[in-house]
Amino acid sequence: MRILHTMIRVGDLDRSIKFYTEVLGMQVISRSDYPEGKFTNVFVGYGSKEDGAVIELTYNYGVEKYEIGTGFGHIAVSVPDAYAACEEIKRRGGVVTREAGPMKHGTTVIAFACDPDGYKIELIEKKN
């Protein structure tokens, strides 16, 4: 078994695709429109669905905003340099909500960014 994807509902599909591709550097892997069901699914990630976990962006026609709730935490992304990643995210128009630095009670360098719908993206520094 392995994790296939995480699905999040988004209020503006084009805005979300732009964030995940232009700010975080992911690629659109696939897109499926379901006009009868009134929704569209777009899968984004750093590789194919077969190579690793991806994110499913679900847009329900006519819904512009969702309550994220208290149960959802964040999506985690590995980066070689969290400090540089934060600068690049800001340069590309993204919002960093916690600058890079050691996590509380540990030494791992982390940071947080926020996507256009308010979902948190954790950047975890992993040296190769």
**Catalytic: 99?**
no
**Strand order, beta sheet including 120-125:** 75-79, 120-125, 109-114, 95-102
Q: Across the chain, where does the E strand assignment appear?
A: 5-9, 27-34, 39-45, 54-60, 75-79, 95-102, 109-114, 120-125
**Strand order, beta sheet including 39-45:** 5-9, 54-60, 39-45, 27-34
Active-site entry in 36, 64, 67, 122: 122
* Other residues' Cβ atoms within 10 Å of the Cβ of residue 13: 18
- Cα-Cα-Cα-Cα dihedral sign, residues 76, 126, 23, 34: negative
- Residues known to be catalytic: 122
